[in-house]
Structure 1
Amino acid sequence: MADDGIATKAPESDAQQTPAEQAEQSVFPGDSKAQEGPSMGEHCTADRPTPTGEIPTGEMSKLGGIDVYIAKPSDYPHSPSKFLLLLTGGTGVKSTNNQLQADKYASEGYLVVMPDQFEGDPAPNSVDMTKIEEQPSWLEQVKLKTAEGIKSFLIDMWLARHTPEKVLPLLHKVIEGAKEEFADAVASGGGIYGVGYCFGAKYILILAGEHPDTVAFGQGDPKNEEQGAIKKEPLIRAGAVAHGTMVTKEDLEAVKSPVYIACVENDPLFPEDEVLTPGRRAMEKNGVEHEIQTFAGVPHGFAVLGDYDDPKIKQSQVQAFGQMLGWIQAH
């Protein structure tokens, strides 16, 4: 464990939403729901302040017909680079912090592609807590509760628009495009590597798993093998994820590629008893190389690049990046 302290609650970890019923359904037959209770928190829909003086150096482009942010090492293509797929939380591909995070991996020698998983429809913006007094008046409390209710409804609707059936085909288009356009980087690393945060963590775990072809491509319930469904091997060589949301135990049970998972202690968005523990046992039983690290004293979403006043969170953010980077470098 990264720390034995007790996880503290921060505004970023407050669960404001309950997922829509449709978004709770998995494409895997017989799956549990992602988890009971909250699936998206404030951190998933709003960025922290951008670190002072940092400006993204990559560029927006298209790959497989999908909008992507591409960050390249400064010496690419003159020096070999490995290919890295980076999947974000709900703030999406246009987020400055997400782009800076991609740049950080690029500076370590990876050709990074960060796709627009949401087709120009990132999660609704958060309630601006800075506009509410520390001890709000009755009227301000009413306004805040109303805003929170509207936000919750909008998040439910947004989740219903971005299910595995919609997201996975986009990712497959990007992966197929990458194999063609960046064949040198894919070959240099012996395959595709993946890192994912919050919403994106679930999809890195899916891409690291073995699934029937209809499921792997987001086409709903698979047929049986006699009807033509074939189990597809993982699409990524190794993956590293941080504080996933809407992850099911079935996502973890299907994992075959080596994975590193950074968790937040006592995280209702990635519950230990319902998801993490059975998933860990399945990976152990299946002989899947994995490492699970639990960070205490930090909010869910801490590993996403952004500025915090708390030095404990800053330190953990740096540590998580180092661990995720080290994992994909070692594989």
Structure 2
Amino acid sequence: MELISKPSLVATLLLLALSLPSLQLTVADIGVCYGMNGNNLPSKQDVINLYKSRGIANMRLYDPNQQALQALRGTNIGLILDVPKTKLMSLGSSPSAANDWVKNNVVPYASNVNFKYIAVGNEIMPNDPEANSVLPAMQNVQNALQSANLAGKIKVSTAIKSDIVKGYPPSSGEFTSSSYMNPIVNFLKQNNSPLLANIYPYFSYVGTPTMKLNYALFTSPNPQVTDPKNGLQYKNVFDALVDTVYAALAKVGAPNTRIVVSESGWPSAGGKATSFDNAGQYYKGLIGHVKQGTPLKKGQAIETYLFAMFDENQKGGGVENNFGLFTPDKKPKYQLNFNN
């Protein structure tokens, strides 16, 4: 999750206010990201127990913490497991390193941990030093899973941030770097894997001073604004961001590649428009909304991971420390139904 909103996509969303027609309702998988950047967090077993007691069916884990993986055994909690940024160059340059990573962090748990996706890198941008390693690392991890007879069960992807996409209206969305994203998208198509996308209306709102708060918070009233290229109507920034990514996928020949929202959240303190009321409204609205799909993918529920499980006191300060759904003593900050 990036603290600063980039202008490339934010500015284009200023006028969006989506009206969703009557939509088919479907079941949306809701998960919560489990970050560990705090020195006052519960034990790994207590955290997994909290997921179970609150009915949270899915988790994103940003590194293969062995205690957390042990605690996940037998729970059937669906898991996104990240390959951390620090491992990308090694796994991208060495198939044996990728084999070792899979053998150490996936194979020992695969019989009773519900791995869904391996996220090879989080929010890597085309100019980052690790960028050239993302696709080779994805390929090497895929091959390692294949060797372990797990490729049919676990999908390999990478998590992008929304400002790797540009364009207004949403139907004009395209990737900012075709040389970086096109081969990654081709890999996803070939392996029937989804694209993981971190979607933050909060940063879009903060980066666009004239944007109305209700555009970002799933609150009414919202005027209807029509995408002139396809006639679809929009009333919230979340849908606009997701559909802009879908449009970018279509432009590189992958209109049917599914998007999993691998992070989305709203901070309760530390910055503009941060409050318990706003954050609670966002999370509640998001859980209720994603089962409907987006205007471009009407009725197709969006698997979504809320960011994050806890306030993490060792992050960068400001809003970064205040995305938690629970306090470190495991008390809920908001009344949410994760099975909605």
Q: Do they superpose with TM above 0.5?
A: no
TM-score by length of 1: 0.36
TM-score (norm 2): 0.35
